[in-house]
A and B are shown apart, each in its own frame.
Chain A
Amino acid sequence: MTQYMISVHHTGGYPEVDPETMQAQFAAVDAFNKEITGAGKWVFGGGLMPRDTATMVDGTGPETVLVDGPYAETKEVLGGFWVIEAENLDEALNWASKASKACAAPVEVRPFQGE
């Protein structure tokens, strides 16, 4: 088994949707989470608060420096992610396809480094 991160990327900030659409999306993501947990492939996951809640921590110098705000001003924002277990990339891609449909956004799939 390999662990993969399925991350949800929004271009140009968080999408603005009406409450009904949002409810439908929550329900879809909930259903996906139930399915992947039931299959025993769920490791961890969650949605993230908007990026203006982020704090940068730079501990590479002698003193740790804290900076308000996200790392870089890019148009793309990480909205949330899942960590899953899968036999191989084909299985991970199948879960990712369902995840993308559920959260109505494209997702990126990356393997974790082996131990």
Chain B
Amino acid sequence: MTVTDAEVDRIVRAEYGRVVATLVRRFGDLDLAEEAAGEALLVAVQNWRRDGLPPNPGGWLVTTAGNRAIDRIRRESVRDARQKEALVLTPEAGDPLGAVDDDRLRLIFMCAHPALAVEARVALTLRLVAGLSMAEIAAAFVTPETTMAQRLTRAKRKIKAARIPFGVPFAHDLPARVSSVAAVIYLVFNQGYFATSGDVPLRGELCDEAIRLARLLRRLLPDEPEVLGLLALLLLTDARRPARFDGDTLVPLAEQDRGRWTRSLIEEGHELVRECLRRQRPGHYQILAAINAVHTDGPTTDWPQVLALYDQLMVVAPSKVVALNRAVALAEVDGPAAALAEVDALDLLPYHAWHATRADLLRRLNRPAEAASAYEAAIALADNPAERDFLGARRAALQKS
């Protein structure tokens, strides 16, 4: 069976997390699992490109990686030490989610454990579950590779020393732990969608990776409405990706060419949101998804409905950033003056979006001098190059009128 190089890479990446997770369960050692999985993948890429795919590529990878791990244990003759460490990562008995028998889920919960620093959770998840290389992760977060490597080493040391379990959480911890996993995936997505560092405005590969992880999480935890909400949110946001840029400049939602949005993703997202509504257990990600469903439904946004959803979000997950977004909706319903009063009360000085929102409201209220200085403050704080261009253009248009 002939196979393209791209197809080999896709399969290898899709299977990486499963291979690592199986090896962690078998050998109880993160480093060993990572090394053996890496070796097996290298062999797979070489052989498959030459000879075509084996009948069961996933199984082949797990077997080969397992053999490599055993070779390594023998070769390094540190068997005793390895086995001692192995006890540390043995899956915990009595998983409350006994039916969910998937090592990847255990691996995800371990990587996204709230006892780890947020950056470490993101890096571990991308490395061990998504199979990105250290160089890719470092590039995506514009961090030196050595810094990223140290971050991962430190996190893995804490997992061992503090016995962060390779297992699913206690039932009463599950909602909080699911939101920790969801937050990691959402961070990965946003790091792609609103690249905050470096010169590119969008890192599509991170968006794709986040959606792949969200789909995996949904397959593994089909009964968690927040997982459905997260996937819906990512799909409905990603659907707008093709219309978000005009050359190098950001196009705000209201001005986007809706014909360029990806219909299939919007339909899938809407179906997921309807599924969430049927569950009647609203949460943070579900409400964000519902807001994005309203944005992508019909020829224009139904702003009173968006406002009502932000009111609901303020109850479930209140924050100044949510209040700021609510004010944007309020401006469409009650006008810019009402919104400006709310925005000014928030006082989010270090946040570029606060200044950008104020600038837009002041522009609409015909107060160009104040709008101009707000645009300047926003430009100075904005990290994304396309957003800076957009704000610059708005600031320039102000001077002409």
Contact = CB atoms under 8 A, between A and B. Distances in A.
A94 B165 CA distance: 13
A109 B162 CA distance: 9
Interface string A75-112: 00000000000111110111000000000000001110
Interface string B86-125: 0000001000000000000000000001010000000000
Contacts of B115: 89, 93
Nearest to A113: B161
B163 interface: yes
A92 B173 CA distance: 13
Interface in B160-177: 161-165, 167, 169-170, 173
Interface string A49-81: 000000000000000000000000000000000
B173 A90 contact: yes
B169 A90 contact: yes
B170 A89 contact: no
B19 to A, nearest CB: 24
Nearest to A111: B162
Sorted nearest first, the 10 A-B pairs with minimum C-beta distance are A88-B165, A88-B163, A111-B162, A89-B162, A89-B164, A2-B163, A89-B163, A111-B161, A90-B165, A89-B115
| Residue from B92, B163, B167, B169 having most chain A Cβ neighbours under 10 A | B163
A5 B278 CA distance: 45
Nearest to A2: B163
A87 B92 contact: yes
A87 B170 CA distance: 13
A111 B169 CA distance: 19
Interface in B125-163: 161-163
A109 B163 CA distance: 12
A96 to B, nearest CB: 10
A109 B161 CA distance: 12
| Residue from B92, B113, B162, B170 having most chain A Cβ neighbours under 10 A | B162
B164 A88 contact: yes
Interface of A: 2, 4, 86-90, 92-94, 109-111
| Residue from A2, A92, A93, A109 having most chain B Cβ neighbours under 10 A | A93
Contacts of A109: 162
A90 B162 contact: no
Nearest to B168: A90
A94 B170 CA distance: 10
19 contacts: A2-B163, A4-B162, A86-B163, A87-B92, A87-B165, A88-B92, A88-B163, A88-B164, A89-B162, A89-B165, A90-B164, A90-B170, A92-B162, A92-B163, A93-B115, A109-B162, A111-B161, A111-B162, A111-B163
A71 B164 CA distance: 32
Contacts of B113: 89
B171 to A, nearest CB: 12
A2 B159 CA distance: 13
A3 B114 CA distance: 20
A10 B22 CA distance: 43
B218 to A, nearest CB: 23
A76 B131 CA distance: 42
Contacts of A89: 113, 115, 162-165
Given A2-B162, A89-B163, A94-B170, 15 more contacts: A2-B163, A86-B163, A87-B163, A87-B165, A88-B163, A88-B167, A89-B113, A89-B162, A90-B164, A90-B165, A90-B169, A92-B163, A93-B115, A109-B162, A111-B163
A87 B163 CA distance: 8
Contacts of B165: 87-90
A94 B176 CA distance: 13
Nearest to B161: A111
A24 B112 CA distance: 37
A111 B157 CA distance: 12
Contacts of B170: 90, 94
A92 B115 CA distance: 11
B131 to A, nearest CB: 25
A111 B170 CA distance: 20
Contacts of A4: 162
Contacts of A111: 161-163
Contacts of A2: 162-163
Nearest to A90: B165
Nearest to B109: A90
Contacts of A87: 92, 163, 165
A2 B162 CA distance: 8
